[in-house]
Amino acid sequence: MWRCYNQLEPQWLETLDPETLPVACQLAGTMIKLLVLDTAFPDNMLASDFDGCPLCDDLPPVLFSSDPSLPKAKGIPFSSALLVEHRDALNRVVLQGVRELPFSSDLLQLTREDVAEGFMRGPLPIGEVDLSRINITRRIPVRELRSKGWRTRPADHATESMINDATRPSDRVRHDNIDVLVRVLVTFVSACTPAMMWKRDNSKAFKRCPIKAAHLMSSWVAFRADGQLRLAQHLGMP
Protein backbone atom coordinates (compact mmCIF):
# COMPACT_ATOMS: atom_id res chain seq x y z
CA MET A 1 0.00 0.00 0.00
CA TRP A 2 2.84 2.40 0.82
CA ARG A 3 4.37 1.94 -2.65
CA CYS A 4 0.96 2.56 -4.22
CA TYR A 5 0.58 5.70 -2.09
CA ASN A 6 3.95 7.08 -3.21
CA GLN A 7 2.91 6.62 -6.84
CA LEU A 8 -0.63 8.03 -6.57
CA GLU A 9 -0.18 10.95 -4.14
CA PRO A 10 1.53 13.29 -6.69
CA GLN A 11 -1.16 12.45 -9.25
CA TRP A 12 -3.94 13.27 -6.75
CA LEU A 13 -2.37 16.61 -5.80
CA GLU A 14 -2.18 17.58 -9.49
CA THR A 15 -5.98 17.23 -9.80
CA LEU A 16 -6.70 19.71 -6.97
CA ASP A 17 -7.22 23.45 -7.17
CA PRO A 18 -3.85 25.17 -6.54
CA GLU A 19 -5.41 27.31 -3.79
CA THR A 20 -6.16 24.24 -1.66
CA LEU A 21 -2.68 22.70 -2.01
CA PRO A 22 -1.19 24.25 1.18
CA VAL A 23 -3.76 22.21 3.15
CA ALA A 24 -4.10 19.14 0.93
CA CYS A 25 -0.37 18.45 0.70
CA GLN A 26 -0.32 17.90 4.50
CA LEU A 27 -3.23 15.47 4.45
CA ALA A 28 -1.97 12.22 2.84
CA GLY A 29 -5.32 12.16 1.04
CA THR A 30 -4.42 9.21 -1.18
CA MET A 31 -3.57 7.09 1.86
CA ILE A 32 -6.97 7.96 3.37
CA LYS A 33 -8.69 6.96 0.14
CA LEU A 34 -6.81 3.65 0.02
CA LEU A 35 -7.61 2.88 3.68
CA VAL A 36 -11.31 3.72 3.23
CA LEU A 37 -11.60 1.41 0.23
CA ASP A 38 -9.35 -1.34 1.62
CA THR A 39 -11.18 -1.58 4.95
CA ALA A 40 -14.68 -1.24 3.41
CA PHE A 41 -15.34 1.69 5.75
CA PRO A 42 -19.14 2.27 5.81
CA ASP A 43 -18.87 5.90 4.71
CA ASN A 44 -17.14 5.42 1.36
CA MET A 45 -17.80 9.08 0.51
CA LEU A 46 -14.70 9.83 2.61
CA ALA A 47 -12.69 8.64 -0.38
CA SER A 48 -13.70 11.82 -2.23
CA ASP A 49 -14.43 14.28 0.61
CA PHE A 50 -10.77 15.20 1.02
CA ASP A 51 -10.64 16.67 -2.48
CA GLY A 52 -12.47 19.59 -0.87
CA CYS A 53 -15.17 19.88 1.80
CA PRO A 54 -18.28 22.02 1.21
CA LEU A 55 -18.48 25.20 3.27
CA CYS A 56 -22.11 25.93 2.36
CA ASP A 57 -25.09 24.64 0.33
CA ASP A 58 -26.20 21.00 0.86
CA LEU A 59 -23.79 19.06 3.05
CA PRO A 60 -23.24 15.34 2.39
CA PRO A 61 -25.04 12.90 4.74
CA VAL A 62 -23.26 11.62 7.84
CA LEU A 63 -24.80 8.20 7.16
CA PHE A 64 -24.01 5.54 9.78
CA SER A 65 -23.31 7.97 12.66
CA SER A 66 -26.44 10.05 12.15
CA ASP A 67 -29.61 10.54 14.16
CA PRO A 68 -32.69 9.27 12.26
CA SER A 69 -34.58 12.50 13.00
CA LEU A 70 -34.23 15.17 10.32
CA PRO A 71 -32.53 18.49 11.11
CA LYS A 72 -34.80 21.43 11.81
CA ALA A 73 -35.69 23.26 8.61
CA LYS A 74 -34.26 26.78 8.38
CA GLY A 75 -36.64 29.69 8.10
CA ILE A 76 -34.70 31.41 5.33
CA PRO A 77 -33.85 29.26 2.28
CA PHE A 78 -30.39 30.56 1.33
CA SER A 79 -27.56 29.32 -0.88
CA SER A 80 -24.11 30.14 -2.19
CA ALA A 81 -25.77 31.65 -5.27
CA LEU A 82 -27.67 34.10 -3.07
CA LEU A 83 -24.48 34.89 -1.18
CA VAL A 84 -23.06 36.06 -4.51
CA GLU A 85 -26.24 37.89 -5.51
CA HIS A 86 -26.38 39.88 -2.25
CA ARG A 87 -22.61 40.08 -1.76
CA ASP A 88 -22.27 43.88 -1.77
CA ALA A 89 -25.01 44.40 0.83
CA LEU A 90 -23.78 41.56 3.06
CA ASN A 91 -20.16 42.75 2.96
CA ARG A 92 -21.27 46.29 3.77
CA VAL A 93 -23.12 45.10 6.89
CA VAL A 94 -20.18 42.97 8.01
CA LEU A 95 -17.55 45.68 7.52
CA GLN A 96 -19.66 48.27 9.35
CA GLY A 97 -19.56 46.00 12.41
CA VAL A 98 -15.80 45.44 12.46
CA ARG A 99 -14.28 47.12 15.53
CA GLU A 100 -10.95 46.84 17.29
CA LEU A 101 -11.82 44.94 20.46
CA PRO A 102 -9.84 43.91 23.54
CA PHE A 103 -7.48 41.09 22.52
CA SER A 104 -7.90 41.87 18.80
CA SER A 105 -4.10 41.83 18.60
CA ASP A 106 -4.33 38.13 19.51
CA LEU A 107 -6.43 37.57 16.38
CA LEU A 108 -3.58 38.91 14.27
CA GLN A 109 -1.09 36.56 15.90
CA LEU A 110 -3.42 33.53 15.67
CA THR A 111 -4.14 34.26 12.01
CA ARG A 112 -0.43 34.54 11.24
CA GLU A 113 0.13 31.17 12.94
CA ASP A 114 -2.54 29.56 10.75
CA VAL A 115 -1.01 31.17 7.66
CA ALA A 116 2.42 29.76 8.60
CA GLU A 117 0.88 26.27 8.83
CA GLY A 118 -0.85 26.62 5.45
CA PHE A 119 -4.40 26.75 6.86
CA MET A 120 -5.10 30.39 5.88
CA ARG A 121 -3.97 33.09 3.44
CA GLY A 122 -3.15 36.66 4.46
CA PRO A 123 -3.59 38.74 6.53
CA LEU A 124 -3.96 41.48 3.90
CA PRO A 125 -4.93 45.15 4.07
CA ILE A 126 -8.45 45.60 2.76
CA GLY A 127 -7.18 47.68 -0.16
CA GLU A 128 -5.35 44.67 -1.60
CA VAL A 129 -8.47 42.50 -1.97
CA ASP A 130 -11.22 42.77 -4.61
CA LEU A 131 -14.35 42.82 -2.43
CA SER A 132 -16.60 42.25 -5.45
CA ARG A 133 -15.28 38.68 -5.71
CA ILE A 134 -15.55 37.51 -2.08
CA ASN A 135 -17.96 37.21 0.86
CA ILE A 136 -16.63 38.40 4.22
CA THR A 137 -17.32 37.17 7.76
CA ARG A 138 -16.47 39.20 10.86
CA ARG A 139 -13.82 37.63 13.12
CA ILE A 140 -14.17 38.22 16.87
CA PRO A 141 -11.78 37.46 19.78
CA VAL A 142 -13.39 35.25 22.43
CA ARG A 143 -11.71 34.74 25.81
CA GLU A 144 -12.01 31.35 27.47
CA LEU A 145 -10.52 29.76 30.57
CA ARG A 146 -8.73 26.45 29.99
CA SER A 147 -6.71 24.20 32.27
CA LYS A 148 -3.53 26.10 31.33
CA GLY A 149 -5.13 29.52 31.91
CA TRP A 150 -6.90 32.14 29.81
CA ARG A 151 -6.60 32.08 26.04
CA THR A 152 -8.09 33.92 23.06
CA ARG A 153 -10.09 31.90 20.55
CA PRO A 154 -11.08 33.35 17.14
CA ALA A 155 -14.82 33.14 16.43
CA ASP A 156 -16.19 33.84 12.94
CA HIS A 157 -19.67 35.44 12.96
CA ALA A 158 -21.06 33.32 10.12
CA THR A 159 -24.67 34.09 11.09
CA GLU A 160 -24.19 37.79 10.39
CA SER A 161 -22.59 37.07 6.99
CA MET A 162 -25.39 34.55 6.16
CA ILE A 163 -22.90 31.72 5.63
CA ASN A 164 -24.74 29.69 8.28
CA ASP A 165 -28.08 30.26 6.54
CA ALA A 166 -26.56 29.06 3.27
CA THR A 167 -25.37 25.82 4.91
CA ARG A 168 -27.86 22.94 4.98
CA PRO A 169 -27.06 19.66 6.80
CA SER A 170 -28.93 16.65 5.45
CA ASP A 171 -29.08 14.81 8.78
CA ARG A 172 -28.21 15.15 12.47
CA VAL A 173 -24.86 14.00 13.80
CA ARG A 174 -25.11 11.44 16.61
CA HIS A 175 -22.39 11.32 19.27
CA ASP A 176 -21.81 8.63 21.88
CA ASN A 177 -22.34 10.01 25.39
CA ILE A 178 -20.86 9.21 28.80
CA ASP A 179 -23.35 6.33 29.26
CA VAL A 180 -21.65 4.45 26.42
CA LEU A 181 -18.26 4.89 28.07
CA VAL A 182 -19.65 3.57 31.38
CA ARG A 183 -21.10 0.48 29.65
CA VAL A 184 -17.74 -0.22 28.01
CA LEU A 185 -15.93 -0.01 31.35
CA VAL A 186 -18.54 -2.21 33.09
CA THR A 187 -18.04 -4.82 30.36
CA PHE A 188 -14.30 -4.85 31.00
CA VAL A 189 -14.80 -5.16 34.76
CA SER A 190 -17.37 -7.96 34.29
CA ALA A 191 -14.81 -9.88 32.24
CA CYS A 192 -12.16 -9.35 34.97
CA THR A 193 -10.07 -7.47 32.42
CA PRO A 194 -8.22 -4.31 33.44
CA ALA A 195 -9.05 -1.25 31.37
CA MET A 196 -6.75 1.68 30.74
CA MET A 197 -8.29 4.96 29.59
CA TRP A 198 -6.46 7.41 27.39
CA LYS A 199 -7.34 10.27 25.06
CA ARG A 200 -5.86 11.57 21.84
CA ASP A 201 -6.74 14.80 20.10
CA ASN A 202 -6.06 15.75 16.49
CA SER A 203 -4.60 19.24 16.59
CA LYS A 204 -6.60 21.66 14.41
CA ALA A 205 -8.47 18.71 12.91
CA PHE A 206 -11.02 20.71 10.89
CA LYS A 207 -8.41 23.07 9.49
CA ARG A 208 -6.58 20.09 8.02
CA CYS A 209 -9.52 19.44 5.66
CA PRO A 210 -9.32 21.62 2.51
CA ILE A 211 -12.34 23.72 1.58
CA LYS A 212 -14.05 22.95 -1.71
CA ALA A 213 -12.50 25.24 -4.32
CA ALA A 214 -15.87 26.64 -5.46
CA HIS A 215 -16.60 27.79 -1.89
CA LEU A 216 -13.31 29.56 -1.21
CA MET A 217 -14.91 32.86 -2.24
CA SER A 218 -17.00 32.64 0.96
CA SER A 219 -14.16 31.75 3.34
CA TRP A 220 -12.79 35.27 3.95
CA VAL A 221 -12.78 36.90 7.40
CA ALA A 222 -12.26 40.52 8.50
CA PHE A 223 -10.93 41.95 11.76
CA ARG A 224 -9.26 45.13 12.97
CA ALA A 225 -5.94 44.95 14.82
CA ASP A 226 -3.27 47.55 15.54
CA GLY A 227 -5.56 50.18 14.02
CA GLN A 228 -5.73 48.47 10.62
CA LEU A 229 -8.59 46.58 8.97
CA ARG A 230 -7.29 43.24 7.74
CA LEU A 231 -8.67 40.35 5.68
CA ALA A 232 -7.65 36.71 5.72
CA GLN A 233 -8.95 33.62 3.92
CA HIS A 234 -9.55 30.14 5.30
CA LEU A 235 -8.07 27.39 3.09
CA GLY A 236 -8.95 24.63 5.57
CA MET A 237 -12.38 24.17 7.14
CA PRO A 238 -13.00 26.69 9.96
Whether 225 contacts 112, CB under 8 Å: no
pLDDT tens readout for residues 159-174: 999 999 999 887 777 7
**What's the CA gap between 137 and 221, in Å, rounded?**
5
Residue 21's pLDDT band (cuts 50, 70, 90): confident
pLDDT tens readout for residues 57-83: 888 877 666 676 666 666 667 889 999
Whether 24 contacts 9, CB under 8 Å: no
Query: Sheet holding 228-234: strands in order across?
Result: 120-125, 228-234, 220-225, 136-146, 149-156
| Dihedral pair phi/psi, residue 136, rounded to 5° | -110, 145
The pTM of the whole model exceeds 0.95: no
Cα 8 to Cα 19, 22, 70, 76: the distances in Å are 20, 18, 38, 43
Whether 223 contacts 139, CB under 8 Å: yes
Q: What is the pLDDT of residue 9?
A: 72
Q: What is the pLDDT of residue 199?
A: 79
The answer to whether residue 44 scores a pLDDT higher than 70 is no
